[in-house]
C-alpha cells in the first residue's frame, strides 16, 4: 500500500469516526446529525499542503460528486425499504401531487425570485435563466430524515397520516429536483434542445422509466432474494441486494430514467414483500445508509470554502424566506380538500426542510463546467444550515402550540 493511500485511509477513517460520534451526540441532544456533520466537514481543512509530498486537496469536487451520487442512491433505497405501503397509500395522491406538481412550481417560482433579486451579494454572480432555474431546482425538494429527527421528541404523538405525508412527499420530489437541475445545466452548456417541450418530455421519461424499472427490478429482486433467504446469511443477503441495486440504478440511468426513483421504488417493493425478510434487509442496509448519509454531508463540508459559505448567508436567508412563502402557497393549493386541517397544513409547510438532495445537486454543478457551478455548494450549504437552525427547531414548539401532539 502506498503512503498516499495509507494517509487518505487514515484521514477519512478518523473523520468518519468523528462523524459517527457526532451523530450519536446529536441524537441525545435532539438535533439533526447532519447539522453537526456538516459543521465538521466545513471546519476541516480540505488542503493537505502541510503534509510533505502530498498534493492538495484532500477531496476533489469530482470525487465528492461521485460519492454524493452513490450515497443518495443508498439513502433512498433504504428509505423505500423502511416505508410501509399500507400506511402511505391513503396519502399517496396528495403526497405525489405536492411532490411533483408542487415541486415543479416551487422551482419555477424560485427561479423568478432569483432573477428579480439580481447579482448575488458576496459571490459576485449575475443570475441568468439557467442559473435561476438551477437554484430553484436545487432547493425545491424536501428531506424527511431531517424533519423526523427534529420531531423525535413527539414520536408516536403526531397524527400518523401527517407524518406519512411528509415522508412520502420527500421520497417522490427528489427526481423532480434532479431532472430540473440537469435541464438547467444543459441549458448553461448551450444545449438549446433542453428547453420547452423537451423539458416536459424529459421529466415524464425520467419518472415513468424510473418508476416502471424500479417496480420491475424490485419484483425480480424479491424472487431472487426470497430463494436465497433460506440459504444466505445476513452478509450474503447484503451483497446480493446491493448488487441488484447497482445493476438496477445503472441500467435505469443508461436507459434515460431516474435512477434514484428506481432505487426508492425497488426498496419500497422489497420492503413490503411477503416473500422477503424485511427485518434482515433493513439490518443489512441500515449500515450502508448511515455511512452514505454521513459521507454525503461530510463531503459537502469538505469541498465548501467557509469564507464563501459566510458570504452566501445573506442571500441564503432571502431564499429561505422565499421558499417558505412558496411552500405555504403550494401546501394550500396542492392539499386543498385532501383532509388536512389548517393546523396540519401549517406544520407541513414548516416541515419543508432541505437536506441531502440540494447538497448532492450542488456538488454535481461544482464538478461540472458551468461558470457558476463552484458557487453552488456554498449557497446550498448556507440554505440547509439556516433552514435547520431557524426553521427546523421551530417544528416541535409549533406542533405543540397547534395542538397536533397528543399527550405523552
Q: What grid cell was written down for 324?
A: 417558505
Closest CA to 182 of 128, 142, 126, 137: 137
Q: Which residue has the higher pLDDT, 408 or 205?
A: 205
Query: Is 148 within a domain?
Result: yes
pLDDT for 408 beyond 70: no
Tell me the range of 36-40, 45-49, 81-85, 264-268 where mean pLDDT is highest: 264-268
The per-residue pLDDT for range 11-56, each reduced to its tens digit, is 888 888 998 888 888 877 777 777 888 888 888 877 655 455 555 6
Q: What grid cell was written down for 156?
A: 408516536
Residue 356 belongs to what domain range? 60-401
The per-residue pLDDT for range 279-328, each reduced to its tens digit, is 778 888 888 888 888 888 888 888 888 888 888 888 899 999 999 999 99
Contact 169/83 with Cβ under 8 angstroms?
A: no
Query: Is 4 within a domain?
Result: no
> Among residues of the chain, what percentage have pLDDT more than 90?
21
Distance CA 273, CA 404 (A): 33
Three-state DSSP class for 35?
Answer: helix
**DSSP assignment of 232-252, as one string?**
--HHHHHHHHHHHHHHHHHHH
What domain count does the chain have? 1
Query: Is 320 within a domain?
Result: yes
Q: Which residue has the higher pLDDT, 28 or 378?
A: 378
Contact 369/23 with Cβ under 8 angstroms?
A: no
Query: Is 15 within a domain?
Result: no
Query: Is 39 within a domain?
Result: no
Query: Is 29 within a domain?
Result: no
Contact 67/58 with Cβ under 8 angstroms?
A: no
Query: Is 95 within a domain?
Result: yes
The CATH number for 182's domain is 1.20.1530.20
Q: What grid cell was written down for 243?
A: 448488487
β-bridge partners, 125: 120
Exposed, middle or buried, 408 (CB in 10 Å: 0-12/13-18/19+)? Answer: exposed
Q: What grid cell was written down for 389?
A: 437552525
Distance CA 253, CA 270 (A): 20
Query: Is 40 within a domain?
Result: no
Amino acid at each position: 500500500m502506498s503512503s498516499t493511500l495509507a494517509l487518505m485511509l487514515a484521514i477519512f477513517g478518523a473523520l468518519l469516526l468523528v462523524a459517527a460520534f457526532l451523530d450519536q451526540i446529536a441524537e441525545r441532544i435532539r438535533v439533526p446529525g447532519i447539522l453537526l456533520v456538516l459543521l465538521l466537514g466545513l471546519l476541516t481543512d480540505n488542503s493537505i499542503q502541510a503534509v510533505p509530498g502530498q498534493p492538495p486537496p484532500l477531496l476533489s469536487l469530482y470525487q465528492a460528486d461521485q460519492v454524493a451520487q452513490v450515497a443518495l442512491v443508498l439513502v433512498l433505497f433504504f428509505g423505500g425499504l423502511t416505508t410501509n405501503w399500507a400506511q402511505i397509500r391513503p396519502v399517496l395522491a396528495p403526497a405525489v401531487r405536492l411532490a411533483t406538481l408542487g415541486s415543479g412550481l416551487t422551482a419555477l417560482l424560485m427561479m423568478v425570485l432569483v432573477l428579480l433579486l439580481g447579482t448575488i451579494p458576496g459571490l459576485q454572480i449575475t443570475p441568468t435563466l439557467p442559473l435561476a432555474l438551477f437554484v430553484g431546482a436545487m432547493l425545491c425538494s424536501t428531506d424527511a430524515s431531517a424533519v423526523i429527527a427534529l420531531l423525535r421528541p413527539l414520536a408516536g404523538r403526531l397524527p400518523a397520516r401527517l407524518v406519512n405525508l411528509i415522508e412520502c412527499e420527500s421520497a417522490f420530489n427528489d427526481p423532480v429536483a434532479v431532472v430540473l437541475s440537469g435541464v438547467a445545466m444543459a441549458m448553461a452548456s448551450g444545449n438549446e434542445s433542453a428547453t420547452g417541450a423537451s423539458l416536459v418530455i424529459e421529466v415524464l421519461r425520467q419518472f415513468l422509466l424510473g418508476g416502471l424499472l424500479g417496480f420491475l427490478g424490485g419484483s425480480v429482486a424479491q424472487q431472487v432474494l426470497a430463494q436465497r433467504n433460506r440459504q444466505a446469511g445476513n452478509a450474503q443477503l447484503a451483497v446480493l441486494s446491493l448488487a441488484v441495486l447497482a445493476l438496477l440504478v445503472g441500467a435505469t440511468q443508461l436507459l434515460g430514467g431516474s435512477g434514484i426513483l428506481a432505487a426508492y421504488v425497488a426498496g419500497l417493493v422489497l420492503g413490503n414483500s411477503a416473500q422477503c425478510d424485511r427485518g434482515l434487509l433493513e439490518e443489512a442496509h441500515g449500515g450502508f445508509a448511515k455511512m452514505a448519509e454521513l459521507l454525503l454531508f461530510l463531503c459537502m463540508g469538505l469541498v465548501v470554502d467557509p469564507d464563501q459559505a459566510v458570504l452566501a448567508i445573506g442571500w441564503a436567508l432571502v431564499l429561505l424566506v422565499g421558499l417558505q412563502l412558496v411552500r405555504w402557497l403550494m401546501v394550500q393549493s396542492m392539499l386543498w380538500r385532501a383532509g388536512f386541517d389548517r393546523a396540519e397544513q401549517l406544520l407541513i409547510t414548516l416541515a419543508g426542510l432541505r437536506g441531502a438532495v440540494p447538497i448532492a445537486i450542488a456538488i454535481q454543478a461544482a464538478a461540472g463546467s458551468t461558470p457558476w457551478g463552484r458557487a453552488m455548494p456554498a449557497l446550498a450549504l448556507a440554505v440547509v444550515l439556516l433552514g435547520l437552525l431557524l426553521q427546523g427547531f421551530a417544528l416541535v414548539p409549533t406542533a405543540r402550540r397547534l395542538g397536533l401532539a397528543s399527550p405523552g
